[in-house]
Amino acid sequence: MDIRNTSCRNLHQGGYRSQSVSSGVSCGCPCAPLPPLPPSPASLAFIKLDATSGAPLPGATFTLTGPGITPQTAVSDTRGKVRLSGLAPGLYQLRETAAPAGYLPNTRTYSVLVNEGGSISVDGMPAEQFSLADMRAGIPISDAPVIDPITAGAATVTGTGGPGCSVTVIFPNGGQAAALVQPDGTWGVTVPMGFTLAPNDTVTAYQQCPGASVSGPATATVAPTPPGGVRTVVGQVSPIAWNSLGFGPAFLAQFDATAELRTDVNTPAPPARTATVVPIGDTGVGQFIIPDVPFGNYVLYIKRPGYLARTLAVTVDPGDPNPKTVQPPDGPIFTLLSGDVNDDREINTLDSAILAAHFFTLYPSASYIPEADLNADGEIGLIDRSILYANFFATSSIYPGAVL
């Protein structure tokens, strides 16, 4: 079609330029597309609170830094609100640089990620859910947690801290994970899905204990993967079949089992690779996580005092997923059999004699020994004897796949 001095216009709906067409030129609309509009600057807003009362806290100063920008500073207003504007897509760092009078400053550095679409996350949390709190001066500060050595590609980060305290781990991509420190002082978190720890990455952790403010940061630098690579080995232990009478879930909390990878059944692998079996909520199942296991052949050795040890040959190789889940031949969960009071891998007359010597003793008397309290009810009595006799003459070799 011949069009003379005609304009094609579709600015609102299609994003096209107005273009005049001279005589003799055939034009089919739409015409030349407009260049994409630059993204609108985003704003980060959050509330500053009193950690004890939850009331808005004015007068806290925050500084936002990042590559290619002049540091921004904002102060919380009378409603505790902090607002930082004009943020282009990118990764920033947020710190409280001055606390209100009478308060302890928050020493953490937060990662602020502004996405292309304008959405914002802080340490992996949507900005709409983010707030900060300060403790009043005079409240004790929690000790920083300890982070165990981390190897590139590790699926978990572990460490030690104060039992009952909470630990928050911040990953280099801004993601975070939290864990409660177990009674034995250990804690562990899983690396966020889709993220891989690389050599020289820095992992940061903070600890907060009941009645105390958040600790200062603990940091760990990710080490290169040893030659041959590593995997994290995980598995589950259930109390359901600890004995033939079916006792178990009610006393999982007292189940102090350990899982260890050994060179052979009697020789721990250097360095020691041992993990505590930790209850998974109230499911009646416990889980062990053994990180940074080099490729090779091992014997998995699972043991709880008073129970028959369970063993299984385990090979860790480059074809394994990370983490590598190990399972026994008789099902997905390792089960343990009780009655081995003297830990000689056999339930026999020696165990019966020890149990008889402590018969009718109660926790916490000096005569009470947990190895003989087979149902972990705080008393060594008839039920424990019944369990032992039900499992009499059983040995650790009875388990499918046993390596003894």
Cis peptide before 364 (omega within 30 of 0): yes
For residue 389, give the H/E element and its range: helix 382-390
Higher pLDDT, 2 or 87: 87
Stretch 9-14: mean pLDDT, rounded?
42
| pLDDT over 60 (residue 116) | yes
Question: Looking at 11-59, which runs of residues are DSSP E strands?
Answer: 16-21, 42-50
Residue 134: predicted pLDDT? 80
Sequence-distant (≥ 6) Cβ neighbours of residue 250 within 8 angstroms: none
What is the C-alpha separation between 214 and 227, in angstroms, rounded? 38
User: Phi and psi at residue 45, in whole multiples of 5°?
Assistant: -130, 140
For residue 248, pLDDT beyond 70: no
Asked if residue 23 has pLDDT above 60, the reply is no
Q: Is the pTM of this model over 0.95?
A: no
Query: What is the spatial distance between Cα 338 and Cα 244, in angstroms, rounded to a whole number?
Result: 9
- pLDDT at 147 (0 to 100): 95
Please state, in angstroms and as integers, the Cα–Cα distance from residue 217 to each residue in 11, 133, 143, 147, following that order: 53, 16, 9, 11
Question: Terminus-to-terminus CA distance in the chain, angstroms?
Answer: 90
Question: What number is the average pLDDT over the span 361-384?
Answer: 87
For the segment 14-37, the average pLDDT, to the nearest whole number, is 50
Q: What DSSP line would sit under 76-103, residue for residue?
A: --TT-EEEEEEEPSEEEEEEEEEPPTTB
Q: How confident is the model at residue 249 (pLDDT cuts 50, 70, 90)?
A: very low
Residue 132 has pLDDT above 60, yes or no: yes
Q: Phi and psi for 208 in degrees, rounded to 5? A: -130, 125
CATH of domain 146-221: 2.60.40.10
Query: Six-digit token pair at 168?
Result: 């928050």
* pLDDT tens by residue, 277-286: 887 766 667 8
Strand 258-264 versus strand 296-303 pairing type: antiparallel
Q: 227-404: what fold?
A: Immunoglobulin-like (2.60.40)
Q: Which pLDDT tens digit goes with each residue over 326-363?
A: 999 998 999 888 889 999 999 999 999 999 999 999 98
Radius of gyration of the chain from Cα atoms? 30
Mean pLDDT along residues 286-315: 89
pLDDT tier at 11 (50, 70, 90 boundaries)? Answer: very low
Residue predicted with more confidence, 265 or 254: 265
pLDDT at residue 68, as a whole number: 75
CA atoms within 13 A on the CB side of 124: 16
Helix, strand or coil for residue 316?
Answer: strand
pLDDT above 50 for 250: no
Q: What is the pLDDT of residue 20?
A: 43
User: pLDDT at position 255, please?
Assistant: 56
User: Averaged over 236-243, what is the pLDDT?
Assistant: 60
Question: What's the confidence (pLDDT) of residue 32?
Answer: 58
Confidence of residue 142 (pLDDT cuts 50, 70, 90): confident
pLDDT for 267 equals 85
Element holding 388 (H helix, E strand): helix 382-390
Whether 227-404 and 42-134 are alike in CATH topology: the answer is yes
How many C-beta atoms surround the C-beta of residue 67 within 10 A?
Answer: 8
Which one, of 88, 49, 46, lies nearest residue 66 by Cα? Answer: 88
Residue 229 confidence (pLDDT):
73
Answer whether 337's CB lies under 8 Å from 245's CB.
no
Task: Locate the domains of the chain by residue range.
Answer: 1-36, 42-134, 146-221, 227-404
Instruction: Give the three-state DSSP class for 376.
Output: coil
The mean-pLDDT minimum among 37-51, 157-171, 247-261, 344-358 falls in 247-261
- Report the length, in residues, of the chain: 404
What pLDDT is stored for residue 3 in this prediction? 42
β-partners of residue 30 are: none
CB 293 within 8 A of CB 261: yes
Look up the CATH architecture of domain 42-134. Sandwich (2.60)
Tell me, what's the pLDDT at 54?
81
Average pLDDT over residues 360-387: 88
Q: Which residue has the tokens 């041959």?
A: 228
pLDDT band at 317 (very low <50, low <70, confident <90, very high): confident
CB 215 within 8 A of CB 141: yes
Residue 35 binned pLDDT confidence (cut-offs 50, 70, 90): low
Instruction: Give percent above pLDDT 70 in the chain.
Output: 84
Mean pLDDT (whole number) for 193-199: 82
Give DSSP secondary structure letters for 198-225: -TT-EEEEEEE-TTSBPPPPEEEEPBPP
- Which residues lie below 8 Å from residue 373, measured CB to CB, with a gap of 6+? 306, 363, 379, 380, 384
Q: Give residue 167's pLDDT.
A: 94
